Amino acid sequence: MTRFFAWLVVGVLTATSLYADPVTVQSPGGQLAVSFEVREDALFYSISRENRPVVDPSKVEIFAGAKMAVVEQSIRESDSSWKPVYGQFSSIRDHHRELTLSLTADSVPVQLICRVFDCGVGFRFVLSEESAGKKMTYTSEYKLRGGAAHYAGQRGAKIANLAKAKRVAVPLVTQRDDGLHVALLESDLYSAAGFEIMGIRFAAASGSLVASSSAVSIGEGQVTAWRVILIDETAGDLTVNTVSLNLAAPCKLADTSWIKPGKGLWDWRIHGYHNGEFVYGIDTRSYFHLIDFCAEQGIEYFTVDDFWFTKAGNGKMTVAPEVDIAKVMSYAKEKGVMIMLYYDRRKGNFGDETLFRHYADLGATGMKYGFMGNKADFTRDAINAAAENKLLINFHDGPVPMAGVERTMPNLITREYCHGQQDSRSAFTPETFLQMAMVSALTGPLDMSNGNFGINSINAGERKKGPKKRNSYISTVVSEVARNLVIYTGLVTLPDAPEEYLKKADLFEFLKQMPATWDDTRVLNSKIGNYITVARRTGDRWFVGSVSDQTAQTLDIPLNFLEPGETYEATIYQDLPDAHGVKNPEAYEITTATVKRHDVLPAKMVVGGGHAMILRPVHRKP
C-alpha cells in the first residue's frame, strides 16, 4: 500500500474569531465542496456538487447547546488503496481530502474530522481527555435540497410524507428533482464505543432532517461514528459507492485466511418438502442428505437453522431428540462442507462469554445469530468474540446496520438487514426486492436468501415455512438467479430443495459458477423499485444480472466494460416469452451468442422476471 499526503492549508484562529470566513475543502476531483463555519456559537456545514447546493447550512454538534469556537484548521490529501477480504472489488482506492477542525465546545477541546471524496462526505468528532464523563449528544442536521422521493430502512420502503415520519430508519435515500441521488447513513459505528445507531427524525421547526445518538464520553481518543452523505448520479451508483468502506477502520485481524466467502444451502425453507423418499425436517437424516448435495455440487456451506436445540442456559444446550449434532458436524467435516450453525437467543442465555467457544468446539465454521437485538455494543462484542474463536457470523432478525464493519472485522460475512425472501408478506414482491437492493444494501452485505427454483411448489403450499397465502410469491426462476448476483454478500444463501435445483441443472449451473467475491462491479441500469442491471467480474469472466418489477420490459445492456479487441461467448439465461411471475414462473431458456465490447444486448423480462448472462473471453490461438 502506498500513501501520499499533501499539506494544503494550515491556519490558526483565536477562540474569539466566531465569525471568520467559512473553511472550505474540496474533493480531489473538485466535484464536491464542503464548508464549515461558526454562526452565533453554533457549527454549521454545507455541501455543494459542481456548484449546485446539496445540503444547505446545517448544524452539527457533540454536546447539546454547547458554544462552539474554531481554534485551528488543517487540510491534507490522501491517496491510497487497500484490498478487502471479500466484496464487490478486489482493490479499493481511497482518495480524499481531509479537513481537521480543532474546536472548543463550552471550552472543552474536541476535533471534527471531515473527509471529502468525489462521491461522498463523512465527518466525525474525536474527543479529548477533558471531555471524560460528559454526556455526548451527537447531532447532525440535513437541510437537503430538492428531494422528490425518499426511501429508507431495511425494507427500502418509500416514505410517502417525510414531514409526518416520526422516525426514519437508516439508510435514507433521496432522489432529487434533478435525478441526483443522496444517501444518509453512518460508517464505523464499530469504533464508536457507547453509541447506538443514529436515529433520524423530521424537525418541523427547521424543515430539516436531524440525526442523533448519545453516549457518555470516555475521554481521550474516543470517536463518534462517521456521519455519511453519499452523492451519486443514480441509485445503482450508490450501491457501488466505496465511501462508507473507506471511512471504516482498517482490518483489525492479523490473520484472515480462515475467512472464506462462498455459497451455502439452507434447510429452513425446505422443511415439509417431499423429495420422493422422505419429507425434509429437523433431523439428522435430512441434514445428511443436504450435506451430500453440497459436497456433490461444490457448495461450500450448509446452514443448520433453528430448532436443532430446544433450550439453552448456563453453558448447556438441550439438543432436539431427532438431531445428533455431533454426527452431523462430523459428517460435514468428512464431506468437506462447512457448517453455519444457528443460535436463537430467545431460547435462553447460554452465556455469551462461552457461547462462541462452544460453537467452535462443535466444529462450526460460523454462527447464524438470531434475535440478538438492535444493540450496537452487544453487536461489537459478538463480532469480537466470534473472531477470537475464528467463527464467521451472520446476524439475523433486525440486526444493527453497521456500515463498513466488513472491512474492519471481515468475519461479519453477511446479515439480514433486509427481509429475506418469503420472510414477510411485503417481501414477496419484485418491487420490494428492488427497493432493498438499492437502499438497505448501502449498509453492506445482505443475507436475503434468493434462489428459489421450485416456485410453483412454494406457491402451492408444499413447504412448512413457505408463504401462508397461496400464489403470493412473485418471481421467475431467471429472476431468482439474477437476484443472487445483484445482492452483494459474503455468503450466498440458497433456500430451495436440492431436487428443485437438479430439475433445472442447466440453470443451476449459473449459481454453481458464480463466486461470492468479486474483482470488479458495475451497475448498468437502475431505478429504485423498478429495475436494476449489475455486472460483476471474476478474473476474465463477467456475470450480469437484471431484475424487473411487475412490468414486462426490455433493458439495453451496453457491453462497454469488456476488454477492447476481445471476443466473448455469452451464455444467456432468460424468461421464455410466455413466462410470468405469477402465472408461469418456471419457464426459461438458455441461448448463446458471440459478443464484443460496445455491443448492446437486450434483456427481455416478463412480469416479475429477470435476465442473466455469463461472458467468457474466447482465447484464439495466433
CB 603 within 8 A of CB 546: yes
Which one, of 243, 248, 298, 239, lies nearest residue 487 by Cα?
A: 239
The reply to whether 563 falls in a domain is no
Peptide bond connecting 171 to the previous residue in cis, omega within 30 degrees of 0? yes
How do strand 553-558 and strand 567-575 relate by DSSP bridges? unpaired
- Domain count of the chain? 2
pLDDT digits (tens, 9 = 90+) for 559-570: 999 999 999 999
Sites in the chain below the pLDDT cut of 70: 1-20, 424-427, 620-622
What's the rounded Cα separation, in Å, for the pair 148 and 483?
27
Are 46 and 188 members of one domain?
yes
Cα distance between residue 348 and residue 345, in whole Å: 6
- Taking the C-alpha atoms of residue 281 and residue 560, their distance in angstroms, rounded to an integer, is 48
DSSP string computed for 1-62: ---EEEEEEEEE--TT-TTPPPEEEE-TTSSEEEEEEEETTEEEEEEEETTEEEEEEEEEES
Residues 24 and 65 in one domain: yes
Dihedral (CA of 55, 60, 64, 65) sign: negative
- CATH number, domain of 83, equals 2.70.98.10
Same domain as 291, residue 222: no
Contacts of 218 (CB under 8 A, 6+ apart): 127, 132, 193, 194
What CA–CA distances, in Å, run from 391 to 96, 256, 262, 546?
Answer: 34, 11, 15, 33
Could you tell me which residues come within 8 angstroms of residue 53 by beta carbon, excluding any fewer than 6 positions away?
46, 47, 145
Cβ pair 546, 613 in contact under 8 A: no
Same domain, 108 and 210: yes
Same domain flag for 39 and 104: yes
Burial of residue 244 (CB within 10 Å: 0-12, 13-18, 19+) is buried
Q: Domain boundary residue among 461, 484, 515? A: 515
Strand-pairing partners, residue 64, are: none
Which grid cell sits at 314?
448456563
Contact criterion met (CB below 8 Å) for 450 and 458: no
363 shares its domain with 332: yes
The CATH number of the domain holding residue 299 is 3.20.20.70
Q: Look up cell 444451502; give the residue.
A: 265
282 domain-assigned = yes
Sign of CA dihedral 100, 105, 110, 112: negative
DSSP state of 256: -
Please identify, among 474, 496, 515, the residue that sits at the C-terminal boundary of a domain: 515
Residue 555, all three cell numbers: 433493458
- Of 391, 313, 318, residue with least CA distance to 359: 391
Of 247, 279, 314, the position where a domain reaches its end is: 247
- Euclidean distance between CA atoms 151 and 441, whole angstroms: 12
Q: Do residues 475 and 344 share a domain?
A: yes
- CA-wise closest residue to 359 among 322, 329, 314: 329
In a domain, 559, yes or no: no
All 3 cell numbers of residue 508? 443451476
Q: Note the pLDDT of residue 419.
A: 87
10 Å CB burial of residue 69 (0-12, 13-18, 19+) is: buried
Q: What does DSSP assign to residue 562? A: S
Asked, for residue 239, whether it belongs to a domain, the answer is yes
| Beta carbons of 487 and 451 less than 8 angstroms apart | no
Residue 50 lies in a domain: yes
Query: Is 576 part of a structural domain of the chain?
Result: no
Tell whether 350 and 395 lie within a shared domain.
yes
Cell 457533540 maps to which residue? Answer: 62
Does residue 327 fall inside a structural domain? Answer: yes
* 395, three cell numbers: 446476524
Give the H/E segment covering residue 593.
strand 588-596
Predicted confidence at residue 8, as pLDDT, reads 43
Element (H, E) at 236: helix 235-239
Q: What is the pLDDT of residue 17?
A: 42
Domain encompassing residue 29:
4-247
Contact 13, 104 (CB under 8 A): no
How much is the pTM? 0.95
Is there a single domain that holds both residue 120 and residue 212? yes
Residue 413 belongs to a domain: yes
Same-domain check for residues 205 and 286: no
Q: Do residue 440 and residue 493 come from a single domain?
A: yes
Neighbour tally for 199: CB within 10 Å: 14
- Answer yes or no: are the C-beta atoms of 352 and 381 closer than 8 Å: yes
Q: What does the pLDDT read at residue 115?
A: 98
Within this chain, do residues 228 and 119 fall inside the same structural domain, yes or no?
yes
Q: Which residues contact 51 (CB under 8 A, 6 or more apart)?
A: none
CA distance 290 to 304: 10
In the chain, the amino acid numbered 235 is A
pLDDT score recorded for residue 205: 86
